[in-house]
Structure 1
Amino acid sequence: MKALKIAGLLSLLIVGGCGRIASPGDLLHAPNLANEEQALYRAVQPFLPAGYQLTTPDQSDQGSAIRLADLDGDGDEELIVSYKKPDTDYEVNVMILTQRGGAWQKADQITGSGMNLDYLGIKPLTDRASSELLLGYDSGGSGLPRELFVYSFSGGQAEEIFHESYDQIAVGDLIGSGMEQIAVVPPAVDAEDTHSQIRLIGEKNGKLSLLAESRTDGSVTNMQIERAATNIDGLFAQIMSTTRSGYAVLLAWENNDLVNILSLSQKSYDERVSRQDLKLEAPDRNSDLSSTENKWWIDYPAKNRDVDGDGILETALPTPLPSVESPSGTPQLWSDSYYRWDGNRTMEFVEDRFWQWGYDLRIPNRWLGEYRIELPTGSENAAGEVRFTYSAKTDTGNTVALPLLTLRQMTSEAWNALKPVLESRQSEYVVLGSTGSVIPGNSSLVTVALLPDGNGDLTGKAALDYEALRLTIAEVHQLAGISADDEEEASGDVEKH
């Protein structure tokens, strides 16, 4: 019998909030520094004032409190250190050290106002040969904006060259110039006004200036600059509005302006249920992103991500799952369908992912167009079971719904009763995880994936077609995104709960 105890299809770690005091393992990040970390840590310590501790930014291109980078382009790296006094709420410091005669010395210090350092980046913004230091401070107060300051470094001194308030920030080479640009969403001026902007800041005549601006009719979320197609970077964002759930945009740089690639006609949008490639309209060149109905409409803010690991970010499109006809009031289930831009006028379908009870399951492409979702009604499992089924024709011409995979969530007591039954008939299953008991006295919940027994008494071609759709334990393992190392740890977790 193949019975695996596997905890969790995919755990989503949401990191945010306030900056934190750095642990030794978080202190620095730079290539090939494994043997130098302790030396650099010791080099920094004499320059830290008494009572101050290293702190890591909430967002960073390298995620560390100690950084090595050549800021002034002279070929020698500076040491950039972020630190604060734990009991001081509104002051964050960044110190720059340079080397002279083989010894580190303090060159300059930047003191910013804020509860923590929200963003730290070191990017070439105005010159390919040097880099600027980007510091974003978070006041921590409700309704108070974050503040971005950009510094150049020359002659041992840091000089402020740009400042702007922001709600969101993303940095990358959107233009393809070899230098990077800053995309910012300014904070809302009026809490009642849902309109916002995406401003692109970059080099113009040797200075940082506004290059382009797109207006929106909702709040901007999940903004990032990433590889969008072969050799093309794009600005991904989602606009959540009040009139509809929202829409996604993919902004690219064409003819010295930002254009929205995700111009999807209603006809193409309606074809999303087929999980096939989608044809795009001509890029939307209007600076008002709300000016057309040709949108990549989204019913909720699904996360864009590189689902296939090819280095290109896929765009998420929430799509209703094909369902067996159910009584009114039965909830509609959704999948996140992921598409990759081909660099022209097509969004290529990559894969479908289904979320349930905190778990993430990739739906096999060979199931597409063949499966249906069924929610049991009128039973004790109605709220805790999802079935993937396949409609097959028997030799007599009848159509029967056969299971492909059943996801079930139950109490630990119910699982302890079901498990010996499954094992006695040698049924295959995967334990996806256990939530543990959140409320004292209540049972923990166990989630399992049940594979079907037998072939439903099919014969001939019908049996072969059904067999081709069925999953093995190894495939469930792969579709869940779980490594072999997870199995041993997960087994202990389930038993513990």
Structure 2
Amino acid sequence: MRRVIAAALSAVVFAAGLSGCSILSSPVELLKAPAAGSEQEAILRAVSELLPNGAKLTVPLKHGEKIGAISQADLDGDGVKEAIALYKQETNQFQLGLLILKKQPDGRWTRMAEQVELGSEFDYMDILDLTGTGTRDILVGWSGGKQITKSLSVYRLQQGQLKLLDSQAYTELAVDQLDADAIPDIVLFRADRTKDLPTVSLYRLQDNRLIAVDSMPLDGLANILVQVQAGKASDTVRGVFVDAQVGAHSGSTMLLLLDNGRLRLASLTGDQSSPILLNAYTATSRDVDGDGIIEIDLLKPAPGTDHLSLAAIPWIHEWSKWNPGKGLTPVQENYYDYGSGFGIQLPATWKGKYTLRKLGDEKEGSLELAYWTDATRLTPELMTIAWVPKDKWEDRQMAWSKQKRQVVALGERADKKFAALLPPTPDLPETIKAGYKEMREETKNPASWFQFLPAKQTPGKETDK
């Protein structure tokens, strides 16, 4: 593995954009599944003393639930948990280390084993029973940077030594229990630029080797893998969600399931002959409603905006759950303005009855929510979200007052203030008056719709020794 990453690093000559892992603000973040009180302090103190000079504790970009910069697990089966620490050398930005500490009968923590590899960050780590025998192995994804193929290594602690069982190259990975056998499934994706299609393979640890038990090419609608994650696809089914870039800006989403030991694509369209969901832009799946099930994001142009360019269209994010055999079932709609840093969640009762109009830019502008029916071209305003530079706030308030708008402050961020503007009730035809009134009633508490989007973070943080 060292030769693979070393050769790749030489090829890109320390390419820009090789980031480290994330800065941890407190000792609590360093240690996962710790003993309480003095035991935690003893582990932190011992790790600090045994780290090489110039080393920084680091957290992997992706990791299991109980994995931190320092984790604890019984690796040798003696009933006593070892401490496992991950570090990065500050003096050599391409050296990573895994340090295992053993607790002695007198309470001291001493160095037991160590593994040092070339790389810029830990892409992944977990400690799992891969065979169902009770033996716990360490899985580490070593990364040399975004443009470099990663390596997944499986280590086992034997007679006080850390033994490498096997390694496999990968571009992205997902490790999860995808079926009912209680043994983790290792799903590795490989994107080879010399070939048209990336491949995905299912691995199991057999006879201390990572064996590919199934493999399949991904569709050509997955040029660049943007996000790969495993999780609940329904109340009873777990799967791997693959969000990818297609061409210059379009996107696709796939759902991989494990069926009788074989990988297969679930249909996200209701048609098994074309199971892949396509979007005008790249979108990523996530659990948007907090129920533990991952929703899929479908971008829809706001009604009546088809004549606009792709960049000018206000896109509605329709979040849907996978419904086995039927495709997708919508559960929620949102609008996100990443440039201005806010989002809104639309009421479920508004579905199919509103449109959006955006004016201005990320420095100052507005998003108008308007009533919509396919039967009429009338689009009376329901509410507007406005963002204004702080030094122009008073002038804008005076203008809104003259327009007899109700102004509801939504907060401020950086140099901008945000507000919801509620217009006077318009004169409307009887055919739409009742529908408009019902929707207008739901704008009385606009703050409940509104949220600031989190600032975009650089992947990974580190903390000094």
TM-score by length of 2: 0.80
- Provide closer, same or farther for how the CA distance between residues 113 and 374 of structure 1 changes in structure 2, counting only shifts above 3 A: closer
Query: Could you give the per-residue CA deviations for residues 426-482 of structure 1, whole angstroms, max 9, x where no partner exists?
Result: 71323353443xxxxxxxx444332233x3246989654333212557742222247
- The residue type paired with residue 242 of structure 1 is G
> Are the equivalent residues in 1 in contact too, given 2:300–2:315 (CA < 8 A)?
yes
Task: Name the residue aligned to 2:379.
Answer: 401
Task: Name the residue aligned to 1:439.
Answer: none
Task: Name the residue aligned to 2:8.
Answer: none
Equivalent residue in structure 1 for 2:279, among 298, 308, 332: 298
Query: Could you give the per-residue CA deviations for residues 288-347 of structure 1, whole angstroms, max 9, x where no partner exists?
Result: xxxx54431122221211111110111111122213686789932212211112344342
* Mapped pair 1:71 → 2:59: no
- The residue type paired with residue 428 of structure 1 is V
2:296 and 2:389 mapped to 1: Cα distance?
A: 36
3-state secondary structure, aligned to 1:350: strand
Query: Could you give the per-residue CA deviations for residues 57-108 of structure 1, whole angstroms, max 9, x where no partner exists?
Result: 2332246211112224443211101123311123211111122313323221
Alignment of structure 1 residues 206-221 onto 2, 5 Å:
207-216=209-218, 217=220, 218-221=223-226
2:308 and 2:245 mapped to 1: Cα distance?
A: 31
Task: Name the residue aligned to 2:40.
Answer: 37
- Provide closer, same or farther for how the CA distance between residues 434 and 194 of structure 1 changes in structure 2, counting only shifts above 3 A: farther
3-state secondary structure, aligned to 2:91: coil
Query: Could you give the per-residue CA deviations for residues 256-299 of structure 1, whole angstroms, max 9, x where no partner exists?
Result: 211111352xxxxxxxxxxxxxxx134xxxxxxxxx54431122
3-state secondary structure, aligned to 2:140: strand
- Provide closer, same or farther for how the CA distance between residues 85 and 31 of structure 1 changes in structure 2, counting only shifts above 3 A: closer
- The residue type paired with residue 160 of structure 1 is L
Task: Name the residue aligned to 1:241.
Answer: 246
Q: Which is further off, 358-367 or 415-424?
A: 415-424
3-state secondary structure, aligned to 1:417: helix
Task: Name the residue aligned to 2:271.
Answer: 281
* Mapped pair 1:350 → 2:350: no
Q: Any gaps of 5 or more consecutive residues in structure 1?
A: 1-14, 265-279, 283-291, 393-397, 437-444, 487-497
Task: Name the residue aligned to 1:98.
Answer: 102
Q: Any gaps of 5 or more consecutive residues in structure 2?
A: 1-16, 455-465
Q: Which is further off, 346-355 or 204-213?
A: 204-213
* Mapped pair 1:427 → 2:406: yes
> Are the equivalent residues in 1 in contact too, given 2:125–2:140 (CA < 8 A)?
yes
Alignment of structure 1 residues 167-316 onto 2, 5 Å:
167-190=171-194, 193-204=195-206, 207-216=209-218, 217=220, 218-242=223-247, 245-264=250-269, 280-282=270-272, 293-316=274-297
- Provide closer, same or farther for how the CA distance between residues 427 and 197 of structure 1 changes in structure 2, counting only shifts above 3 A: same
> Are the equivalent residues in 2 in contact too, given 1:388–1:406 (CA < 8 A)?
yes
1:295 and 1:329 mapped to 2: Cα distance?
A: 21
3-state secondary structure, aligned to 1:428: strand
- Provide closer, same or farther for how the CA distance between residues 407 and 21 of structure 1 changes in structure 2, counting only shifts above 3 A: closer
The CA RMSD over aligned residues, in Å, is 3.6
Equivalent residue in structure 1 for 2:154, among 150, 162, 167: 150
Measured after TM superposition, the shift of residue 237 of structure 1 is: 0.3
2:306 and 2:192 mapped to 1: Cα distance?
A: 44
* Mapped pair 1:365 → 2:365: no
Measured after TM superposition, the shift of residue 244 of structure 1 is: 8.6
3-state secondary structure, aligned to 2:142: strand
3-state secondary structure, aligned to 1:40: helix
Task: Name the residue aligned to 1:469.
Answer: 439
> Are the equivalent residues in 2 in contact too, given 1:83–1:94 (CA < 8 A)?
yes
- Provide closer, same or farther for how the CA distance between residues 77 and 233 of structure 1 changes in structure 2, counting only shifts above 3 A: same
Residues matched between the structures, number = 429
* Mapped pair 1:57 → 2:60: yes
Identity across matched positions, percent: 24
- The residue type paired with residue 149 of structure 2 is P
- Provide closer, same or farther for how the CA distance between residues 49 and 414 of structure 1 changes in structure 2, counting only shifts above 3 A: closer
Query: Could you give the per-residue CA deviations for residues 363-410 of structure 1, whole angstroms, max 9, x where no partner exists?
Result: 11111121122356xx999x9333211158xxxxx9853211212334
3-state secondary structure, aligned to 2:317: strand
- Provide closer, same or farther for how the CA distance between residues 29 and 423 of structure 1 changes in structure 2, counting only shifts above 3 A: farther
1:431 and 1:77 mapped to 2: Cα distance?
A: 49
3-state secondary structure, aligned to 1:401: coil
Q: Which is further off, 414-423 or 109-118?
A: 414-423
1:448 and 1:16 mapped to 2: Cα distance?
A: 39
Task: Name the residue aligned to 1:456.
Answer: 426
1:400 and 1:258 mapped to 2: Cα distance?
A: 50
1:408 and 1:194 mapped to 2: Cα distance?
A: 45
Measured after TM superposition, the shift of residue 36 of structure 1 is: 4.4
3-state secondary structure, aligned to 2:284: coil
1:391 and 1:50 mapped to 2: Cα distance?
A: 65
> Are the equivalent residues in 1 in contact too, given 2:54–2:91 (CA < 8 A)?
no
> Are the equivalent residues in 2 in contact too, given 1:126–1:208 (CA < 8 A)?
no
- The residue type paired with residue 84 of structure 1 is K
Task: Name the residue aligned to 2:304.
Answer: 323
TM-score by length of 1: 0.76
- The residue type paired with residue 46 of structure 1 is E
Measured after TM superposition, the shift of residue 254 of structure 1 is: 0.9
- Provide closer, same or farther for how the CA distance between residues 116 and 449 of structure 1 changes in structure 2, counting only shifts above 3 A: same
